[in-house]
A and B are shown apart, each in its own frame.
Chain A
Amino acid sequence: MAEQSHQDIQCFHCGLPVPDGLELSVEIDHQAQPMCCKGCEAVARAIVAGGMESYYQYRTEKSTTAKELVPDMLRQTEVYDRAEVQRSFVRQSDENIREASLILEGIDCAACVWLNEQHIKGQPGVLEAQVNYSTHRARVVWDEREIKLSDILKAVAEIGYIAHPYDPSQHHQILEKQRKDYLKRLGLAGALGMQVMMFSIAMYNGDWWGMEQKYRTFIEWVSLLLTLPVFLYSGWPFYRAAWRDIKHRRAGMDVPISLGIIIAFSGSLFAMAGAGGHVYFDSVVMFIFFLLTARYLELVARKKASEHTEALIQSQATTAIRELSGNETEIVAAQELEPGDIVQVKPGETIPSDGEVIEGRSSIDESLLSGESRPCLKQAGAKVIGGGINIESPLRIRVTECGQETVLSTILRLVERAQSEKPAIARLADRVAGRFVVGILLLAAVVAIYWYLRDPTQWLAVTIAVLVVTCPCALSLATPAAITAATGTLIREGLLCSRGYALETLAKVNHFVFDKTGTLTDGQLEIIQVLQLSDDLSKDACLLQAASLEARSEHPVARAFIKSCNTELLVVENLSSTPGSGLAGRINGKQVFLGSMQYIQQQTGLEMKDDQSKKLESGSRVLLSDQNYLLAVYVLQDAIRDQAAPLIDDLRQAGIESLLFSGDDETAVSIVAEKLGIEDYRSAMLPADKLQQLKILQQQGATVAMLGDGVNDAPVLAGADVSIAMGEGARYAAAAADMVLFRQDLNVIFRGVTIARKMMRIIRQNLSWALAYNIIALPLAAAGFIQPWMAALGMSASSLIVVANAMRLTK
């Protein structure tokens, strides 16, 4: 029964079920609407109070839930008011007028854009606000005397979105400039090209029916006039790329393209100058126009992909927790740190700058910086590099060098890594295309000499046809076009590929390993039962100690404790954690342990009695103990995600077996596995066990995908053939994974598998088409059966077919 009412009421704002017994509501359009949490309630109230109720009428997607709107994020915003931080992304047009670009997270539909624009514009002191729906970026102009940037960011958070400023002088901006540039070149080629084609129809007619020489000459001159800008301006990118290829002694596909265009154009000039023969201006413009179209489409797909990568990167650690005198801390931007400052780094976070460890002991992953793939253990006195990722325990670090450069370089490395890696099949196609180009150039030379000796009036037309008709483009476009289209589509759905080979591997996967907490379940653990095992400490005191131990951890278990403890936390000394097992530390001079039964037994030798553990409900059990006594036991449970069961079903139908590896105890794991129909599950696994099991699977010939979240999954993620991290999990997991799932929507995973498979199919189709086309067209052209204009049409059509076929992936 209780289950029933759960399902029935949905939050009007975000669509999540409203928990039992919670009665929150907001009056929207004269009707009280239910809300699932305080967060959604606040957001809905802010929207109504701003007079923007019609948002609810126009939106086409439910809003992102406000439950998780991290207060951390809000505290950090004030960092952006500081002049040192603003320097990199704020432009000052007047003494008090500032302008900044923001990335907005959480935009799903056009109504969100409207809502954000109206709300930001409504803030006193904001002069201008524009949100771009395609890129999810906003431009804001404000008066510094009336409003601060942090207030604007907070205003956005008020209505349930997250905004962070970004430096527009970046990759995406460069691509946007390139896109505009291409658009102009393409437009020019299209507009002038159509005219040239029209005139050339007149001339072909003239060939057939006869035409007075004075008209022919006039039309030839007009065609030349129209072709010249297309030849020089629109064709420029090809010549530039070809020149670069020649300089580096590489044979790219731009070389024969440029050669074809230039020979056709200059051959036509000679014909006009008196050498006689046909002019080929129509072939020149058509060729340039169609090829530019293909390039433009590819560029747009690439730009879309980079936008999302940048959003991900910008949202990551550019802030640090700096210690002040006493026990207080403040959040500052990494750029602001000065040598001598002491910063705290939680597990899963990025180290903000170069420094020296002064307290704590933890493994640090510096693979992005040094290439060393194994995490190295650092303790007091050890040097750490900014950009490394802290894996297991909190650290205190004294800053030795200022951090701006180091942090930036990490970001760049992440992007570079994603872009530099090409899947194996693309590398093969590139190599083949390179040799192919050299072959064509040689063949064209042979054909030219042969035809010059046999029939001097024909040699130019045949040589042009050979150069133009062969299409290495289709060959080398086949793979990248499909990959960019597939990556773009998946990013739109919320799945980001950060490794080049990720999709190719995902298509081949036949085993899917899931982590439980935060992956198949929603990770919102709650304490459902508390059992006092000792009379020494009151219930509240036990909870306070447990929460204090967990204060610096990002594990879902930690959040459950911190959430249910309302008093101020205690100071913990000598905190140490064993990933996946438990924590220990000194509180008020007394050593306390918190963790799984196994961990407590290892550390203290204490065990729970059978009659005690019989009283416990099913769920994960966490024990609190000191050195001599068990103090309390907590049972935590968390809900299985709605989409988990359908996902497992879908995967099974696609021939993929699902497995569940979890660090939790047998009972908790078996309940979840049974509900979802997963036959193969293993419980109480340490990260090392998971990795070992994974390796065994791989040795048996399985291609394994791993979906995980959180710090302790990082090594397993790295070991899988292809790994997917939940985006809201700890950042370390995201850096180690091949793909990142941004939305809390498991359906996207199956979409990913489907699209990856479809992509491989399309790549194969493209490659076979390109190969077949070239094998047929080349001999025909060399034998002189193909006119240059036919060659131009055939080669452009071949490229377009490849790109259009790839574009099917975007639907």
Chain B
Amino acid sequence: MDIIYFLIPVALVLVAAIVAGLFWAVKSGQFDDLEGPAHQILMDDEIYPEKKDEEKKQEK
């Protein structure tokens, strides 16, 4: 059973990493909008009108 002297500290390190990850996520705004991104994935790529105009000019 002495293995727990090794395994439990490993678990503690993992937990510390998880908590650090969570704090980072909250701070960097990952939880700011929980609904929008789910829809955004379905939308087309970004379109910039002025870039489109440039493309048209190049075609001419």
Give A contacts to B, CB under 8 Å: 49-52, 54, 58, 109-111, 113-114, 118, 121-122, 124, 131-135, 180, 183-184, 187-188, 191-192, 195, 212, 215, 218-219, 222, 225-226
Contacts and interface: CB of A to CB of B under 8 A. Distances in A.
B31 to A, nearest CB: 6
Nearest to B52: A51
Given A187-B22, A195-B15, A225-B12, A134 B4 contact: no
* Chain B interface main SS type: helix
A617 to B, nearest CB: 49
B32 A54 contact: no
Interface in B1-60: 1, 4-5, 8, 11-12, 15, 18-19, 22-23, 26-27, 31-36, 38-40, 42-44, 46-50, 52
Given A114-B40, A118-B47, A215 B22 contact: no
A320 to B, nearest CB: 35
A183 B40 contact: no
A122 B48 contact: yes
A135 B33 contact: yes
B34 A54 contact: no
A381 B33 CA distance: 53
A191 B15 contact: yes
Contact of B42 (A49, A50, A58): A58
A50 B23 contact: no
A184 B33 contact: no
A122 B49 contact: yes
A58 B43 contact: yes
B32 A132 contact: yes
B4 A218 contact: yes
A222 B26 contact: no
Nearest to B8: A222
A132 B36 contact: yes
A133 B39 CA distance: 10
B7 to A, nearest CB: 11
B47 to A, nearest CB: 5
B22 A191 contact: yes
Nearest to A192: B15
Contacts of A54: 43-44
A122 B50 contact: yes
A215 B2 CA distance: 9
A131 B36 contact: yes
Given A133-B39, A134-B35, A226-B12, A215 B4 contact: yes
A124 B8 contact: no
Given A50-B49, A135-B33, 10 more contacts: A110-B38, A110-B40, A111-B43, A113-B36, A113-B39, A113-B40, A118-B47, A133-B33, A180-B31, A219-B8
A215 B4 CA distance: 9
A648 to B, nearest CB: 35
Contacts of A58: 42-43
A109 B39 CA distance: 9
A54 B27 CA distance: 34
A554 to B, nearest CB: 36
A121 B31 CA distance: 23
17 contacts: A54-B43, A110-B39, A113-B36, A113-B39, A114-B39, A114-B40, A118-B46, A118-B47, A133-B33, A134-B34, A184-B26, A187-B26, A188-B22, A195-B15, A212-B1, A215-B1, A226-B15
A191 B39 contact: no
A134 to B, nearest CB: 5
A160 B48 CA distance: 19
A476 B28 CA distance: 34
B13 to A, nearest CB: 12
B50 to A, nearest CB: 6
A643 to B, nearest CB: 27
Given A51-B49, A122-B49, A183-B26, A188 B19 contact: yes
A134 B15 contact: no
- Which 5 residue pairs of A and B lie closest in terms of their CB atoms, listed nearest first? A110-B39, A133-B36, A187-B22, A122-B49, A132-B33
A226 B47 CA distance: 50
B5 to A, nearest CB: 7
B52 to A, nearest CB: 5
Contacts of A122: 47-50
B49 to A, nearest CB: 4
Contacts of A110: 35-36, 38-40, 42-43
A135 B22 CA distance: 22
Given A122-B49, A195-B15, A184 B35 contact: no
